[in-house]
C-alpha cells in the first residue's frame, strides 16, 4: 500500500495517537515536516491518503506553503483520495474546498464537551457516540464547504467537524496523548495566560489533572473515526 502522508506544521503538533492507530493496522505512513522546511509533495497520487495536523498559524496567513497545501487538498478531493484534518488541518480543508476560516467568538483551550449531530452521516462516523469530551486549542473556526455535512458542535464553537464523502475535518483534537498535552501546556503557557478570561480556557494544571479520566474515552472516539477513515484509503 502507498503510504499515508502526514503533514506536521509545528514541532510539538505531531501525529500522536493517529500514528499509533496506523501502526496498529500496519499501514505505512510518511511524515512531512512543513515546520522543518520539507517541501509540499507535487504528486498526490503517491499517497493513499493525506492527513493534516494542527499548528499555531492561521490558514489566512501569507505563508508560501499554504497555497500549495490547498491545491494538494483539492487534487486529493478530485481523485477521491481521503483527507483528514485536525484543527489547523480541518481549517485548511475547509478553505481548500470552498469554506471560510474566521475568528471564533472565544478561544477554546482544554477539555470541553462536544455534541454529535443527529444526521445519518454523523451516525456513520461516530456510531453510538452522542457526545464526548474533546481536547481543544484554537481561536479560529471554519464554515462548511458546499456539500459538507455538519458532524459536531460545542457550546463555544458551532462547527467542530464536517464530513464530505471520504474526507473528515475536525476543529477539535482527537489525536492527543498525555505527552502532547504536557508539551502543549509548556509551549503554550503564554497563550493560556493571555486567554485566561475566556470561559472556554482551562488552566494547564486542570488539563493535565483530567487526562487520566478523559484520554481513554477520547482514544475510543479517535479509534472509531480513524477506523472509518482508513477504510477509504486508496491502494
Q: What is the pLDDT of residues 171-222, one digit of tens each?
A: 999 999 999 999 999 999 999 999 999 999 999 999 999 999 999 999 999 9
Nearest to 32 by CA among 63, 8, 10, 64: 8
- Span 129-171, pLDDT tens digits: 999 999 999 999 999 999 999 999 999 999 999 999 999 999 9
- Span 56-87, pLDDT tens digits: 999 999 999 999 999 999 999 999 999 999 99
What is the C-alpha to C-alpha distance for residues 183 and 188, in angstroms, rounded to an integer? 8
- Looking at residue 170, its pLDDT comes to 98
Q: Assign 3-state DSSP to the chain and report helix, strand, coil percentages, each to 5.
A: 35, 30, 35
Residue with the three cell numbers 470541553 = 112
- Looking at residue 210, its pLDDT comes to 98
- Span 90-132, pLDDT tens digits: 999 999 999 999 999 999 999 999 999 999 999 999 999 999 9
Asked whether residue 9 carries a pLDDT value surpassing 90, the answer given is yes
Backbone angles phi, psi at 141, to 5 degrees: -145, 160
Q: Measured between alpha carbons, how far apart are the two ends of the chain, in Å?
A: 5
What is the C-alpha to C-alpha distance for residues 146 and 153, in angstroms, rounded to an integer? 18
- Let me know if residue 90 belongs to a domain: yes
- Let me know if residue 192 belongs to a domain: yes
- Let me know if residue 12 belongs to a domain: yes
Rg (CA), the chain: 16
- Let me know if residue 137 belongs to a domain: yes
Nearest to 96 by CA among 155, 146, 48, 156: 146
Containing structural domain, residue 94: 4-230
> Are the C-beta atoms of residues 91 and 128 closer than 8 Å to each other?
no
- Looking at residue 131, its pLDDT comes to 98
- Let me know if residue 131 belongs to a domain: yes
What's 126's domain CATH number? 3.40.50.880
- Let me know if residue 78 belongs to a domain: yes
Backbone angles phi, psi at 125, to 5 degrees: -80, -40
- Strands 131-142, 157-164: pairing is unpaired
- Let me know if residue 196 belongs to a domain: yes
- Give the count of domains, the chain: 1
- Let me know if residue 235 belongs to a domain: no
Asked whether residue 235 carries a pLDDT value surpassing 90, the answer given is no
> How many DSSP H helices and E strands does the chain contain?
8, 9
- Looking at residue 205, its pLDDT comes to 98
Nearest to 40 by CA among 16, 14, 63, 17: 63
The angle at the Cα of 125, spanning 201 to 68, to the nearest 5 degrees, equals 70
Amino acid at each position: 500500500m502507498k503510504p499515508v502522508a502526514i503533514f506536521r506544521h509545528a514541532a510539538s503538533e505531531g501525529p500522536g495517537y493517529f500514528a499509533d492507530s496506523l501502526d496498529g493496522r500496519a499501514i505505512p505512513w510518511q511524515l512531512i515536516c512543513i515546520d522543518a522546511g520539507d517541501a509540499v509533495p507535487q504528486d498526490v497520487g503517491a499517497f493513499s491518503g493525506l492527513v493534516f495536523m494542527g499548528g499555531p498559524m492561521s490558514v489566512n496567513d501569507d505563508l508560501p506553503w499554504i497555497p500549495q497545501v490547498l491545491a494538494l487538498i483539492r487534487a486529493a478531493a478530485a481523485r477521491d483520495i481521503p483527507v483528514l484534518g485536525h484543527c489547523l488541518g480541518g481549517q485548511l480543508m475547509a478553505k481548500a474546498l470552498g469554506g471560510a476560516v474566521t475568528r471564533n467568538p472565544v478561544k477554546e483551550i482544554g477539555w470541553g464537551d462536544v455534541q454529535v449531530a443527529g444526521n445519518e452521516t454523523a451516525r456513520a462516523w461516530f456510531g453510538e457516540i452522542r457526545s464526548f469530551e474533546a481536547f481543544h486549542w484554537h481561536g479560529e473556526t471554519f464554515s462548511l464547504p458546499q456539500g459538507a455535512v455538519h458532524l459536531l458542535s460545542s457550546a463555544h464553537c458551532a462547527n467542530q467537524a464536517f464530513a464530505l464523502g471520504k474526507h473528515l475535518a475536525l476543529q477539535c483534537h482527537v489525536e492527543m496523548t498525555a505527552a502532547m498535552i504536557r508539551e502543549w501546556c509548556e509551549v503554550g503557557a503564554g497563550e493560556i495566560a493571555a486567554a485566561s478570561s475566556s470561559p472556554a480556557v482551562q488552566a494547564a494544571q486542570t488539563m493535565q489533572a483530567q487526562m487520566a479520566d478523559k484520554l481513554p474515552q477520547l482514544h475510543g472516539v479517535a479509534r472509531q473515526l480513524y477506523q472509518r477513515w482508513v477504510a477509504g484509503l486508496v491502494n
